[in-house]
Amino acid sequence: MKSISTSIPSLAASLVLGAMLNGIAIAEAPSVEGDRVWVSYNSGQKGPIRRFLQKQGAEIHHEFDGVNAVAATIPARAIQGLSRNPHVRSIEVDPKRYLLNHEGPQEIPYGVIQAQADSSAGVSESHVGNVTICIIDTGLDSSHFNLSGNVLNGTNDSGTGNWYEDGHGHGTHVAGTIAATDQGWRGVVGVIESGAKLHIIKVFDDNGGWAYSSDLAKAMGDCRTAAGDGNLVVSMSLGGSFASANEEAAFADDFAGGKSVIVAAAGNDGNRRYSYPASYDSVISVAAVDDRERRARFSQRNDQVEISAAGVDVLSTYPDGLFATMSGTSMATPHVSGVAALVWSNHASCSGQQIRNALAGGAKDLGEAGRDINTGFGLVQAKTTNDGIQPEDCSFAGDGGGGDGGGGDGGGGGKDKPCNPKKPGCNG
């Protein structure tokens, strides 16, 4: 009796199994010419099977003598005859295996949708070229098809290699969340999908490792040089436990000029420590949430946490045309950077502080009412923020939901909010 092979583990759920032809189970009846199959045969019958296949016009790709099988592409018309061959034990589809690189179809990462930054949310990208987005990281792979459509420039730091190469992957992933361009059927999209103006500063080498606070202070200056006197969003998916007065001054001075929004990761230690630069008053500290808007366990919690975005299993670009899922406040940060740039591009006359206020006001309140140490003002929201900014004076006028939550400064949860960026005193 012929044994039956109907199981293809990875595809079993979606296959139509058990098309029985003459007692042989065909795992999925090959329906079109050119299907590639495994043909298992009885021991010692390789010769007759080979001859039979060749006669039918099949192309044999591999021969597995040890298990009495061949892999072959067989014309559809020959399948039935093959199944009747007394030497054939089973015919099974040769299922495809892919590099886990998300070649298609295109996927909109959940964090982009969660941030109201997918195209269906409808925030105009017509003016995104007005804002320079400076990413301080491991560089990026400028040849990635989801990134090459951006306006790309950069600065090499000494000793870290070329900004347009990324032997690590972190910077390429961050950049994709901000600005992976819409390539139709393939890849991913970022918060901005029609091409952004990026300036890449590579402060980390291909091992990741570390940079010094002075490297970041210098990078801040290079970001400003790149933006000229234009609006600048600085995105830093990095941090460390020790503050530096000189570094703090570099960020505070630029922010005071009104032409920057500076964004950094809250930290991944899950404790209440401050991480810097995020916990300087001039810098927006970003916490991570998951796809159900719950704080990520690793996300640091303190009164500097200002806003939140997706940071758990975030899908984005990776070097060499690949894609990867990564977790961290590093992944949450670029969602906020991208939203800040997107919103600011539509309200170019507003100051960095006003955009920052609007991000807080437009955020979707999470957890306990009002600002809290887990998620700050809540989940960053591109559409609500963009639409709530008043053109006359750049103030934010929310229409309920997150806007009201953020607006209720003295409202619920008053314990943990000594520094409210909606109040003038907070950011000096």
Do the beta carbons of residue 385 and residue 359 sit within 8 Å? Answer: yes
Judged by beta carbon, residue 169 or residue 402, the one nearer Ca ion is: 402
| Cβ atoms 316, 176 nearer than 8 A | yes
Residue 372 known to be catalytic: no
Closest distance to Ca ion from the beta carbon of 369 (Å)? 6
Answer yes or no: are the C-beta atoms of 154 and 131 closer than 8 Å: no
Q: Does the active-site annotation cover 170?
A: yes
- According to DSSP, the residues that pair with 292 across neighbouring strands are none
Cβ 427 to Ca ion, closest distance in Å? 8
Terminal CA-to-CA distance of the chain, rounded, Å? 84
DSSP state of 14: G
Selecting among 235, 237, 308, 330, the annotated active-site residue is 330
- Minimum CB separation of residue 174 from Ca ion in Å reads 19
d(CA 39, CA 345): 60
Q: Does 283 engage in binding with Ca ion (CB under 5 A)? A: yes
Per rule CB under 5 A, is residue 285 in the interface with Ca ion?
A: yes
Residue 290 CB, nearest approach to Ca ion (Å): 16
Residues 349-408 that bind Ca ion (CB under 5 A): 365, 367, 372
Residue whose CB is less far from Ca ion, 270 or 428: 428
Nearest CA to 293 out of 113, 98, 121, 84 is that of 113
Does 304 help bind Ca ion (rule: CB under 5 A)?
A: yes
Which 213-252 positions form the footprint of Ca ion (CB under 5 A)?
A: none
Q: In the complex with Ca ion, which residue's Cβ is closer, 341 or 366? A: 366
Q: Is there a contact between 408 and 363 (Cβ–Cβ < 8 Å)?
A: no
**72 vs 283 by CB, closer to Ca ion:** 283
Closer to Ca ion by CB, 191 or 283: give it: 283
Q: Which stretch binds Ca ion (CB under 5 A): 120-128, 245-253, 280-288, 333-341?
A: 280-288
Shortest Å, Cβ 276 to Ca ion: 9
Q: Which one of 35, 94, 137, 387 is the catalytic residue?
A: 137
Please indicate whether residue 330 is annotated as part of the active site.
yes
DSSP string, 132-191: EEEEEES---TT-TTTTTSEEEEEEPTTS--TT--SSSHHHHHHHHHH---BTTBSB--S
**What is the set of active-site residues?**
137, 170, 330
